[in-house]
């Protein structure tokens, strides 16, 4: 189902989506579900805009009135698209789009804006690593997030063998919803995180 990006600032609609996330993640506090929901959505939302910039040199417009999301019947977002290219710099435009969404999710779920902002940073970092020029993409991460003007953490990367991975500053809280901690979860000891990352990436 196609959903206009403007829905992401409709607090009642967002609350219903967060509450419906129990279908996928199980029962948990609304704050937890809101955080997990944004963890999944944020990657989908920022991905096409960032990847277009790195892969083609021209960003897509992240403004919510240009964005359409594909929503499955169980409430997961599978893709996003924008109806136009961006006339201007991506960082400020991305901040103008993401800021109201983060505030809406916080209001709808009780999740903390700073935590949601950290998740956004990590989603941007991860999607930069999906591009066809990873080294250039990583060099864009810090100025891009800074230009968003939302006070989010600086993106961080580490090497696991030859593979760059995001050194996460956020926790999606999925372990509070009947699941284990993610491989890169910051809420585990550095030694355990390193062991799991090396097992996954070599």
The H or E element that residue 82 is part of is strand 77-82
- Alpha carbon distance, N-terminus to C-terminus of the chain: 38
Q: Is residue 16 part of a domain?
A: yes
192 in a structural domain: no
| pLDDT tens digits for range 23-62 | 878 788 889 899 989 999 999 999 999 999 999 999 999 9
- For 65-102, b/e burial (b = at least 16 CB within 10 A) is ebbebebeeebebeebebeeebeeebbebbbebbbebb
Residue 200 lies in a domain: no
Q: Report if residue 106 sits inside a domain.
A: yes
Dist. CA 70–CA 72, nearest whole Å = 7
Q: Considering the domain boundaries, does residue 122 fall inside one?
A: yes
Residue 48 domain boundaries:
2-154
Q: Is 135 a domain residue?
A: yes
Tens of pLDDT, residue by residue over 19-30, are 988 887 878 888
Q: Quick check: 85 pLDDT over 80?
A: yes
Tens-place pLDDT, residues 104-161: 999 999 999 999 999 999 999 999 999 989 999 999 999 999 999 999 999 999 888 8
Q: How many domains does the chain have?
A: 1
């Amino acid at each position: 189902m196609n959903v206009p990006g403007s829905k992401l600032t409709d607090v009642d609609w967002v609350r219903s989506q967060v509450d419906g996330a129990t279908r996928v993640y199980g029962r948990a506090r609304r704050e937890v579900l809101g955080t997990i929901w944004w963890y999944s959505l944020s990657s989908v939302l920022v991905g096409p805009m960032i990847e277009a910039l790195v892969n083609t040199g021209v960003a897509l417009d992240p403004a919510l009135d240009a964005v359409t999301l594909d929503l499955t019947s169980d409430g997961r977002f599978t893709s996003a698209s924008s109806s136009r290219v961006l006339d201007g710099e991506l960082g400020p435009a991305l901040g103008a789009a993401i800021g109201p969404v983060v505030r809406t999710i916080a209001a709808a779920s009780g999740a903390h804006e700073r935590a949601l902002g950290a998740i956004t940073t990590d989603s941007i970092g991860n999607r930069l690593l999906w591009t066809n020029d990873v080294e250039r993409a990583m060099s864009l991460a810090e100025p891009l997030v800074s230009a968003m003007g939302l006070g989010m953490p600086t993106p961080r990367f580490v090497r696991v063998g030859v593979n760059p991975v995001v050194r996460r500053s956020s926790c999606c809280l999925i372990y509070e919803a009947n699941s284990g901690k993610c491989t890169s979860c910051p809420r585990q000891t550095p030694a355990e995180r390193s062991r799991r990352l090396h097992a996954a990436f070599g």
